[in-house]
C-alpha cells in the first residue's frame, strides 16, 4: 500500500473477486488525527467498494477470518459477531441488531488495474448512486 496525492493504493484490481474475499487495510482516519482505522474493500456488482471495518451494532470488525466479509451466498456483508447483514452496495444493515444503520463508506476508485481509496474524511451518509 502507498499514498499518492490524497489516495491510498490498496491492492491490485484482480485481487478482488465478485462476492469473494476482500482486502483489509489500515486507513489513516482524519477524524482521529490520522490514526489507523481498520477498513476493507470488496467487489460487488462489478465495482470495488470500501468501508470502515466496524459493525454499526457494536464497534467490532466484521470479518471473523481475515478478508471473509460476505455471507455464504456472496450477496451480503456479514458481521461475524452478531450476524448483522449489510447490503454491499449501500452499506445499509438489512438484518440483525443494527437494522437501518449504515457502514461508513470510503471513496474508492479503480485506476490502471489498482484499487485506491481516498484519504479524505468519509461521509456517514449512504453511498451516492448506490443501487437499492
* Residue matched to cell numbers 447490503: 87
* Assigned CATH topology for domain 2-118: Rieske Iron-sulfur Protein (2.102.10)
Taking all residues of the chain, what is their mean pLDDT, rounded to a whole number? 89
Q: What is the pLDDT of residue 4?
A: 61
- Residue 54's nearest CA partner among 81, 20, 17, 31 is 81
pLDDT at 130 over 60: no
Q: What is the pLDDT of residue 71?
A: 95
Mean local confidence (pLDDT), 56-73? 92
Mean local confidence (pLDDT), 67-96? 95
Task: List pLDDT tens digits, range 18-57.
Answer: 999 999 999 999 888 989 999 999 999 999 999 999 999 8
pLDDT > 70: what percent of the chain?
Answer: 89
Residue ranges covered by each domain of the chain:
2-118
pLDDT at 14 over 90: yes
Give the Å distances, CA to CA, from 39 to 101, 103, 119. Answer: 17, 11, 12
pLDDT band of 131, cuts 50, 70, 90? very low
DSSP line for the chain? -EEETTEEEEEEGGG--BTS--EEEEEEEGGGTTEEEEEEEEEETTEEEEEES--SSSS--S-SSTT--B-TTSSSEE-TTT--EE-TTT-BEEESTTTT-B--EE-EEEETTEEEEE-SPPPSSPPTT---
Backbone angles phi, psi at 10, to 5 degrees: -100, -50
Amino acid at each position: 500500500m502507498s499514498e499518492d496525492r490524497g489516495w491510498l493504493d490498496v491492492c491490485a484490481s484482480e485481487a478482488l473477486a465478485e462476492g469473494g474475499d476482500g482486502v483489509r487495510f489500515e486507513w489513516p482516519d482524519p477524524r482521529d488525527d490520522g490514526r489507523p482505522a481498520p477498513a476493507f474493500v470488496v467487489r460487488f456488482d462489478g465495482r470495488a467498494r470500501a468501508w470502515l471495518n466496524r459493525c454499526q451494532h457494536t464497534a467490532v470488525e466484521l470479518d471473523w477470518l481475515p478478508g471473509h466479509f460476505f455471507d455464504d451466498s456472496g450477496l451480503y456483508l456479514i458481521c461475524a459477531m452478531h450476524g448483522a447483514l449489510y447490503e454491499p452496495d449501500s452499506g445499509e444493515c438489512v438484518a440483525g441488531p443494527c437494522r437501518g444503520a449504515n457502514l461508513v463508506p470510503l471513496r474508492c476508485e479503480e485506476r490502471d488495474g489498482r484499487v485506491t481509496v481516498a484519504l479524505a474524511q468519509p461521509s456517514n451518509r449512504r453511498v451516492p448512486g448506490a443501487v437499492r
